[in-house]
Amino acid sequence: MLQFILLSWERTNMDLELLGTSIIGGNRGAATKDTLRAVDPHSGQPIEPSFHSATIAELEQAIKLAAAARREFDTCPGVKRAGFLRAIAEKMEGMGDLLIARATLESGLPFKRIRSELGRTCDQLRQFAGVVEEGSWVDARIDRADPDRKPLPKPDVRSLKRAVGPAAIFCASNFPLAFSVAGGDTASALAAGCPVVVMAHPAHPGTAELAGRAIAAAVNKCGLPEGVFSLLFSNGYELGQALVRHPDIRAVGFTGSRAGGRALMDLAAARPEPIPVFAEMSSINPTFILPGALAERGDEIANGLHISFTLGVGQFCTKPALVMMAASAHRNEFSERVFALVESSPGGPLLTPGIKENYERGLAGRGKIVSGRHGRAEIAGLAVNAAAFQTTAEVVLRTPELTEEVFGPTTVLVNADRRDELLELARSLEGQLTANIFGTDMDLSDYADLIDILATKAGRLVFNAFPTGVEVCPAMVHGGPYPATSDPRTTSVGTRAIDRFTRLVCYQGFPQTALPDELKDGNPLQLWRMVNGKVSQD
Ligand code: NAP
């Protein structure tokens, strides 16, 4: 069916036929002999067409164009950048079912899920458009001079956030749209005024090409310099590593494995001039079910847990993968309910052969340490069955492998018999994107110290809900201490993500005519600014 949508669409829209070559500013790369193809997760078979790896010369050209575009893009009015971000969203929406069908085919994820991911992607772009159009995100601060101050005169000091420069963006396998070519990292870097060079993920190159063409068309429509956007296909690590090492790249955005993120962090730190890497890596999203909640609504929580850890075939960085329960008469009933749901789960295809291999290896390793139960569905292609394991706090405390991420539809239920064991488990955890507590008001007051511990471990604490959905909104924090991310001061979802692609610049003693508009006395852009320590729009 999807193949049919794609073929019939391509027949009537030849201008959008996939070419399989990189996008280097306003041009297409060469059809090199080094190729890659996506794999259909349902059948395990390769999908046409082939995509051609970019050459090092093309990478150099993309970065050269990005560096040349830097000044014009960084200093263009926020209204113009906002128009550009909205134009990307319109172009992607204009591709409609073609884009959704290709992403569905390459990811194996349901059409409906991808349709809503497209909505989320366009909404993200529009939220950033609103932020840069309004303009106060630059956090302008003005401390006026006081020549009469004793014992020394005070200078005129003004500062703001400015674009850091060309950014390298690595796409995620598990969100072909929302964390990929036109996803949150690209949207926030472009909003800040950084040209981007994007590395397509080999799991969904066709989706990448379509999104890349939408961005390139928006660059053209808005009269921006061509170097604002390039997209590179690559078969292997060499090109991505050369991108991170390049002296004109000033920041990196990444979503993927801990090994991949860490490799890029180390590479960036070893450069003669190190640069920041904003990597979102691994998280097991520890979930604590406290006795009051277990007694009141154990079945409801068990159903919610099963939905949450199998959603998207368990390929969410916010999947609850370690579920801890305090001693309770209702605990066995809860576990049995989860196991029964797992055994009747339909299973589903994982995104790539590599992710399937990792999942199977992870389950086999886990099965040697603890007991578990699996789904029994017949599977084909890259499909796998869900699995849940059960053990005790004591075993988890002496077997740290059980707290490592296994990407896919699996979770571990952990019984803690004593309150101090539960707290020790919480203290032993690595940094996380989320930590989750199911409880009653009484549980919350009984376990106030647990919440204090979790606040040191996770970027987002969730009460009486599962963490899988991540709302895109100004207050959202999708971040956390290492290894959840490389930098706990930021978020990769929500409008604060723009801060990652900025640096602070201070102007001391400058005449009005030489200051950026954001810092001029008359406040021509009507921004909210901090003037002499007070926030105002004057
Ligand atoms: P990945 O292996 O980390 O790859 C992500 C991207 O980074 C790919 O484009 C990859 O290039 C590139 N890359 C990885 N290591 C690199 C290195 N050393 N040097 C240069 N580039 C490098 O992630 P994945 O393929 O999406 O999935 C593999 C595993 O990652 C999963 O099993 C899961 O454990 C984890 N994962 C976690 C999350 C999360 O949000 N927590 C999301 C997705 C995946 P190539 O494609 O050429 O390999």
pLDDT of residue 356: 97
Question: Mean pLDDT for the chain?
Answer: 96
- What's the pLDDT tens digit per position in 259-314? 999 999 999 999 999 999 999 999 999 999 999 999 999 999 999 999 999 999 99
Mutational test site, ligand 1, from 231, 257, 317, max ligand atoms within 8 Å of CB: 257
Using omega within 30 degrees of 0 as the cis cutoff, is the peptide bond preceding 272 cis? no
In this predicted structure, the answer to whether residue 468 has a pLDDT above a threshold of 70 is: yes
* DSSP H or E run through 74: helix 56-75
Sign of CA dihedral 497, 500, 502, 508: positive
Average confidence (pLDDT) over 212-235? 98
296 in active site: no
Give me ligand 1 centre to Cα 318, in Å.
Answer: 16
Q: Is 185 in the pocket of ligand 1 (CB under 6 A)?
A: no
At 469 the three-state DSSP class reads coil
Q: Is 276 in the pocket of ligand 1 (CB under 6 A)?
A: no
Average confidence (pLDDT) over 15-29? 93
pLDDT of residue 14: 45
In this predicted structure, the answer to whether residue 229 has a pLDDT above a threshold of 70 is: yes
Q: Is 255 in the pocket of ligand 1 (CB under 6 A)?
A: yes
Mutational test site, ligand 1, from 173, 265, 434, 486, max ligand atoms within 8 Å of CB: 173
Name the residue with the closest Cα to ligand 1, atom 14. Answer: 260
At 12, the pLDDT band (50, 70, 90 cuts) reads very low
The tokens for 43 are: 């059948």
At 117, the pLDDT band (50, 70, 90 cuts) reads very high
Average confidence (pLDDT) over 197-203? 98
Q: Is 202 in the pocket of ligand 1 (CB under 6 A)?
A: yes
Q: Is 407 in the pocket of ligand 1 (CB under 6 A)?
A: yes
CA distances from 293 to 98, 303, 321, 327, 438 (A): 45, 14, 19, 12, 6
Neighbour tally for 231: CB within 10 Å: 28
Q: What type of residue sits at position 476?
A: M
The tokens for 204 are: 């969904």
pLDDT more than 70, % of the chain: 97
Q: What are phi and psi of 288, to 5 degrees?
A: -110, 125
pLDDT of residue 538: 84
- What's the pLDDT tens digit per position in 497-536? 999 999 999 999 999 999 999 999 999 999 999 999 999 9
Ramachandran area for residue 373 (φ above 0: left; ψ -120 to 50: alpha; else beta): beta
Q: Is 358 in the pocket of ligand 1 (CB under 6 A)?
A: yes
Q: Is 351 in the pocket of ligand 1 (CB under 6 A)?
A: no
pLDDT more than 90, % of the chain: 96
Q: What type of residue sits at position 66?
A: A
At 391 the three-state DSSP class reads strand
Are the CB atoms for 171 and 142 separated by under 8 Å? no
Q: Is 174 in the pocket of ligand 1 (CB under 6 A)?
A: yes
- What's the pLDDT tens digit per position in 240-264? 999 999 999 999 999 999 999 999 9
Name the residue with the closest Cα to ligand 1, atom 26. Answer: 173
Neighbour tally for 168: CB within 10 Å: 30
At 15, the pLDDT band (50, 70, 90 cuts) reads low
Half-sphere exposure of 508 (CA within 13 A, CB side): 3
Place of tokens 């199911």: 438
Name the residue with the closest Cα to ligand 1, atom 43. Answer: 256
pLDDT of residue 5: 53
pLDDT of residue 187: 98
- What's the pLDDT tens digit per position in 135-146? 999 999 999 999
> Catalytic: which of 209, 280, 405, 430?
280
pLDDT of residue 11: 44
pLDDT of residue 2: 53
Query: What's the rounded Cα separation, in Å, for the pair 95 and 286?
Result: 39
Query: What's the rounded Cα separation, in Å, for the pair 471 and 476?
Result: 7
In this predicted structure, the answer to whether residue 9 has a pLDDT above a threshold of 90 is: no
Give me ligand 1 centre to Cα 195, in Å.
Answer: 23
Alpha-carbon dihedral angle through residues 161, 166, 171, 176, given to the nearest 10 degrees? 80
Question: b/e for 258-276, b at 16 or more Cβ within 10 A?
Answer: bebbbbbbebbeeeeeebb
In this predicted structure, the answer to whether residue 16 has a pLDDT above a threshold of 80 is: no
Name the residue with the closest Cα to ligand 1, atom 29. Answer: 257
Query: What's the rounded Cα separation, in Å, for the pair 216 and 207?
Result: 14
Q: Quick one: 289 exposed, middle or buried, by C-beta within 10 A (0-12, 13-18, 19+)? A: buried
In this predicted structure, the answer to whether residue 13 has a pLDDT above a threshold of 80 is: no
Are the CB atoms for 69 and 251 separated by under 8 Å? no
Atom of ligand 1 at shortest distance to CA of 238? 20
Atom of ligand 1 at shortest distance to CA of 358? 32
Q: Is 170 in the pocket of ligand 1 (CB under 6 A)?
A: yes
pLDDT of residue 475: 96
pLDDT of residue 96: 87
Atom of ligand 1 at shortest distance to CA of 199? 9
Q: Quick one: 199 exposed, middle or buried, by C-beta within 10 A (0-12, 13-18, 19+)? A: buried
72 in active site: no
pTM exceeding the 0.85 threshold for the entire prediction: yes
Average confidence (pLDDT) over 114-122? 98
